[in-house]
């Protein structure tokens, strides 16, 4: 009888210990979920990137206020930049460039420059360039190119999950950010030969 009582006590203690462990795991899970929600909330606080293909400019907008505007290169006519609403999915420092048959490590000859801000549409992102003269032109294979110092500044201000709008129309919203387009809006002035290996 005594043995059974001891066994029942041990079983009861084991059940309590198990229940405590389960409780702690659920509490930790809830805490992580709350942190994830807070981080998502931060990303949804109104920070976004707006790219105007027509203006060849990129704006960082925070809570409806334009914080920075940068000149960029956009896709050439033969390889246009994708349009729509995307999210930042990756942020890489000193990226390696991969193209079929070619791998270029970080350095002065890397077509991506020193930073890569990847979008959630495969193969497209915002990056630097080893062809600084292409900025302000329709010259890439679809990605958005920036001057190195501008990209490094933008990179430090954005996070994974931030929204990126790439637009090829010209409307009041874009005019309020970038100004009116001149009557002679820029046309594709750089042949696709200046585009480097898909970027």
Which residue among the candidates 55, 99, 141, 143 is catalytic per the annotation?
143
What residues pair up with 118 in beta bridges, in sequence order?
90, 125
Which residue among the candidates 55, 127, 141, 147 is catalytic per the annotation?
127
For residue 141, indicate whether it is catalytic. Answer: no
**With 0-12 CB in 10 A as exposed, 13-18 as middle and 19+ as buried, what is 105?**
exposed
Instruction: Report pLDDT digits (tens) over 13-30.
Output: 566 655 444 444 343 343
pTM of structure:
0.70
Instruction: Report pLDDT digits (tens) over 103-135.
Output: 999 999 999 999 999 999 999 999 999 999 999
Round to whole Å and give the CA distance between 80 and 37: 35
Task: Residue 127: name the closest of 113, 110, 141 by CA.
Answer: 113
For residue 143, indicate whether it is catalytic. Answer: yes
């Amino acid at each position: 009888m005594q043995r059974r009582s001891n066994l029942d006590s041990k079983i009861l203690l084991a059940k309590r210990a198990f229940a405590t462990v389960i409780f702690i795991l659920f509490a930790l899970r809830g805490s992580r979920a709350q942190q994830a929600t807070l981080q998502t909330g931060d990303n949804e606080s109104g920070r976004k990137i707006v790219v105007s293909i027509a203006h060849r400019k990129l704006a960082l907008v925070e809570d409806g206020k334009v914080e920075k505007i940068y000149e960029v290169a956009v896709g050439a006519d033969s390889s246009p930049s994708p349009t729509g609403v995307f999210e930042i999915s990756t942020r890489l420092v000193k990226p390696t460039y991969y193209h079929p048959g070619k791998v270029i490590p970080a350095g002065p000859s890397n077509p991506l420059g020193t930073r890569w801000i990847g979008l959630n549409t495969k193969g497209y992102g915002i990056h630097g360039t080893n062809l600084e003269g292409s900025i302000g032109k329709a010259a890439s294979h679809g990605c958005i190119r920036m001057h190195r110092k501008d990209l490094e500044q933008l990179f430090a201000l954005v996070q994974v999950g931030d929204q990126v709008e790439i637009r090829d129309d010209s409307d009041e919203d874009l005019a309020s950010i970038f100004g009116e387009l001149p009557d002679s809006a820029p046309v594709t002035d750089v042949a696709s030969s200046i585009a480097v290996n898909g970027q």
